[in-house]
Amino acid sequence: MTAKNELTKSLMASIWFMFLTFPIMVIRVNTVTDTIEWRWQNMFAVGFGAFFLSMLWRYLIRKKEMSGKKDSQSRKSPIYQVIRDQKFALPGLAAIAVFTILFPHIFSMYQTNIMISALIYVMLGLGLNIVIGLAGLLDLGYVAFFAVGAYSYALLNLHYGITFWIALPLGGLLGAVAGIILGYPVLRLRGDYLAIVTLGFGEIIRLVMENWNEFSFGPSGIANIPKPGFFGMELSLHATTIYIFYTIVALVIFTIFVINRLENSRIGRAWIALKDDEIACQAMGIDKARTKLRAFALGATWAGMGGVVFAAKTTFINPASFTIWESVIILCTVVLGGMGSIPGVICGAMLLILLPEYLRDFGEFRMITFGSVLVLMMVFRPGGMIENVRKTYQFKK
C-alpha cells in the first residue's frame, strides 16, 4: 500500500515537472527555417529525473525525521564532536596554522587574493553573528557598517593622509558609532519590523554614498587607496598581498578570541537572555536598551574594521560594492554555518565565498547551484553546518 502510494506520488511529481518544463524543454522554434522542433527525448529525461529525485527526496526527509527522534546528545553534529575532541583539536589547529602560514607562499597571488576576500567575510560573519546569533536581532543592513569602514579609510586617507594602521581602529570606532545610530531608533522593534528597518538603513547608506558627490565622489568612487605600508617601507605588489593576508589572518584570530570571550561574559549572557525572552530579561534586571545597543555597536565594529581592510585590499571602492546582496551573503554565512557557532560561521563564510569563485566554470548555473545548496541546507540541517552547542552547566552529583 505505502509502496504504491510512494510510486503514485513520484509519478505525479514527474508528470507535473514534464508539464511545467514542456514549453522550454521540448518546444524549440527554429527562427531560421521557421519550423518547430519537438524534442520529446528531453521530456522523458525530465520525467525520469523528477521521478527518481522525488523518490530520493522523500527518502531523505523520512530518514531525517527518524533521526530527529533520537535524544539530543547523539544529535550533536559529528563535526562538532571532532572539534571538541582533544585528540583531534590540537593537531588539527596546528595543521590549520601551518597551512595558513604557508598558504601565500604555496599558492598563486590569485588564490591568495580570493582567500583574503574569504577571510574578510569570515570577519563580517563573526561580527554579524554577535547581532543575530547571540542577541537574536535580525539585521539585514549589515553591509552599511562595512561601507562605513571602507569609506572612512578612503576618505580619511584622501583628506588627511591617515595611514592604514590608524584607520583600522578608527574604522571600527566609526562602525560602532553607526551601529549605535541605527540601534537607537530600533530599540523597540523585534523580528520582522527590525529586519525591515535595518534593510532600509543599509540602502540609505548606499544611496547617500552614491548621490552625495561632494562627499563620497558618487558612483565613480574613490581610487588609489594606498595599501598598508610596513613601517614606512614601500612593498612590492606581491609582498603587499602577502602582508594583507597575514594582517587579515591576525584580525580574524583577534575577532575569534574577543567573540569567544564575549560569549561567556556577562554581556553574552544578557544577549542570550534577550534572545530567549524579553520580558523575563527585564524582570532579571537586565537593561534591555543598553544590551541591544551593545550588540549593534560590537557587531558593527568588526564590519567597520573589515571595511578598512577591504578598501586597502582593492584600492578602489564605490557604492556598488555595498549593495543589499552583500548583506544577504553575510547573513547566509551566519545562517548556513550555524547561528551562534564560531567554527560554523567560519566554515560558512569560506564555503559561500570560495564556492562561487571556484564555480565560475559553471557560468550561469552558478547561482542555481548556490541557491539549491541553501535550500537543501535549510531542509536537512536547519541548525547550520556546525550547529552551535552552548556551554551548559552540567551538574553531577
Partner 1 sequence: MLKIRNIDAFYGNIHALKNISMDIEKGEIISLIGANGAGKSTTLMTICGVVPARGGEITFEGTAINNMATDKIVALGINQVPEGRHIFPYLTVMENLDMGAFLRSDARGIKQDMDYIFTLFPRLAERRNQAGGTLSGGEQQMLAISRAIMTRPRLLLLDEPSLGLAPIVTRQIFEIIKKINQENKTTIFLVEQNANLALHISDRGYVMETGSITMTDTGRNLLANEDVKKAYLGI
Near partner 1 by CB under 8 A: residue from 194, 273, 334, 350: 273
Least separation in angstroms between residue 150's CB and partner 1 is: 36
**Phi, psi (deg, nearest 5) at residue 36:** -110, 130
Q: Give backbone dihedrals phi and psi of 383, rounded to 5 degrees, phi first.
A: -85, 0
With CB under 8 A as the contact rule, the residue among 78, 91, 232, 285 that binds partner 1 is 285
Q: How far is the CB of 267 from partner 1 (least distance, A)?
A: 11
Q: Among 115, 249, 286, 353, which residue sits at the site for partner 1 (rule: CB under 8 A)?
A: 286
Q: Which residues of 68-89 are buried (b: 16+ CB within 10 A; e: fewer)?
A: eeeeeeeeebeebeebeeeeee
Phi, psi of 310 (to 5 degrees): -60, -45
CB of 2 or CB of 394, closer to partner 1: 394
- Interface positions, 211-270, toward partner 1 (CB under 8 A): 266, 269-270
Instruction: Identify which of residues 58 and 288 has a Cβ nearer to partner 1 in the complex.
Output: 288
231 or 395: CB nearest partner 1 = 395
Q: Give least dist CB 284 to partner 1, A.
A: 5
Residue closer to partner 1 (CB basis): 37 or 287: 287
Smallest distance from the beta carbon of 277 to partner 1, in angstroms? 5
Distance set, CA 291 to CA 21, 58, 133, 195 (Å): 52, 44, 14, 18
CA distance 106 to 7: 53
Residue 251 CA to residue 230 CA, distance in Å, equals: 16
Among 20, 36, 284, 379, binds partner 1 (CB under 8 A): 284
What are residue 384's phi and psi, to 5 degrees? 100, 170
3-state DSSP call for residue 35?
Answer: strand
In angstroms, give the least distance from the CB of 390 to partner 1: 8
Q: Does residue 70 touch partner 1 according to CB under 8 A?
A: no
Which one, of 292, 249, 284, 268, lies nearest residue 388 by Cα? 268
From the CB of 246, what's the least distance to partner 1, in Å? 39
CB 273 → partner 1: shortest distance, Å? Answer: 5
Minimum distance from residue 382 beta carbon to partner 1 (Å): 15
Cα radius of gyration (the chain):
25
Q: Are 317 and 225 in contact (CB under 8 A)?
A: yes
The binder of partner 1 chosen from 190, 288, 366, 381 (CB under 8 A): 288
CA angle 325, 330, 335 (to 5 degrees): 120
Of 238 and 290, which CB lies nearer to partner 1 in the complex structure? 290
Which of 147, 196, 195 lies closest to 321 in space, CA to CA?
A: 147
Q: Which is nearer to partner 1, 300 or 335 (CB)?
A: 335
Of 189 and 355, CB closest to partner 1? 189
Pick the piece of the chain touching partner 1 (CB under 8 A) from 18-26, 33-41, 113-121, 279-287.
279-287
- The owner of cell 534591555 is 288
Smallest separation, CB 188 to partner 1 (Å): 13
| CB nearer partner 1, residue 4 or residue 397 | 397
Q: Which stretch binds partner 1 (CB under 8 A): 158-166, 210-218, 365-373, 389-397?
A: 389-397
Burial zone of 120 (CB within 10 Å; 0-12 exposed, 13-18 middle, 19+ buried): buried
| 68 belongs to the binding site for partner 1 (CB under 8 A) | no
Candidates 260, 282, 369, 372: give the one binding partner 1 (CB under 8 A).
282
Q: Are strands 35-38 and 27-30 parallel, antiparallel or unpaired?
A: antiparallel
SS3 (DSSP) at 212: coil
d(CA 321, CA 146): 10
Query: What is the Cα–Cα distance from 235 to 230, expressed in whole angstroms?
Result: 7
Q: Does position 280 bind partner 1 by CB under 8 A? A: yes
SS3 15: helix
Q: Does 393 bind partner 1 (CB under 8 A)?
A: yes
Q: Are 379 and 252 in contact (CB under 8 A)?
A: no
Is residue 279 close enough to count as binding partner 1 by CB under 8 A?
A: yes
Which of 27, 94, 283, 368 is in the footprint of partner 1 by CB under 8 A? Answer: 283
Q: List contacts with partner 1 (CB under 8 A).
A: 266, 269-270, 272-273, 276-277, 279-280, 282-288, 392-395
